[in-house]
A and B are shown apart, each in its own frame.
Chain A
Amino acid sequence: GAVVSQHPSWVICKSGTSVKIECRSLDFQATTMFWYRQFPKQSLMLMATSNEGSKATYEQGVEKDKFLINHASLTLSTLTVTSAHPEDSSFYICSAKSSGANVLTFGAGSRLTVL
């Protein structure tokens, strides 16, 4: 079945630094990837939709200059949290689907802690 690898699984960083999270589709071409954020005991909040080769579409209220998304290839999308602050601490999850597929495959998630 479809597999999505997300890395790192957890990261701790100092306030003001930038953190990059990678999402890779291992056995299929991911034409579309989604990035979510989930705070404890809350549901998934979609941050942006990323289509290969084009700019990401951000959800309302998500700062595109703070959360940089790149989807340069059919197997890799990255989310960079720039100038991270403690309030950015959260569980970040990606999901991916191939063209014509009807379900999403989720990565294992990345837990970010900003000190």
Chain B
Amino acid sequence: QKEVEQNSGPLSVPEGAIASLNCTYSDRGSQSFFWYRQYSGKSPELIMSIYSNGDKEDGRFTAQLNKASQYVSLLIRDSQPSDSATYLCAVKKGAPTNAGKSTFGDGTTLTVKP
């Protein structure tokens, strides 16, 4: 079992729809959770970070964390073609401020069709 698993893609949604990206992790000691967006040929950029159970909203993005179920998701509302990218889920064992490494999932490729 992989430490971080993401729903297999590719995922295709029409423009304006909600895109739902899912991620599960195996280590119950995980405390920090991140979503990164990576455009083809580019390096990842941070979209959201979440550390507590529940929802965290930032513009069109909402991260949801359920530690009991070891599940973290990213919802993108009003999807735009510019959201087309690969989304990487990353999980870190330690507290947010320590120097521990993050483990990345394989990514889910999202395509938003005009």
Contacts and interface: CB of A to CB of B under 8 A. Distances in A.
Contact of B44 (A32, A46, A51, A106): A106
A108 B46 CA distance: 13
Interface stretch (B13-21, B55-63, B65-73, B101-109): B101-109
A34 interface: yes
A34 B101 contact: yes
Contacts of B106: 42-43
A106 B42 CA distance: 10
B101 A102 contact: no
Contacts of A106: 43-45
Given A42-B106, A109-B43, A31 B99 contact: yes
Contacts of A6: 43
10 contacts: A43-B88, A44-B104, A46-B101, A49-B101, A103-B34, A104-B46, A105-B46, A106-B45, A108-B43, A109-B43
Interface of A: 6, 31-32, 34, 42-44, 46, 49, 51, 91, 93, 97, 99-109, 111
Given A102-B49, A107-B43, A44 B88 contact: yes
Interface residues of B, number: 21
A43 B105 contact: yes
Contacts of B102: 104
Contacts of A103: 34, 46, 49
Contacts of A100: 97
A102 B34 CA distance: 10
B106 to A, nearest CB: 4
B96 interface: yes
B96 A93 contact: no
Contacts of B101: 34, 46, 49
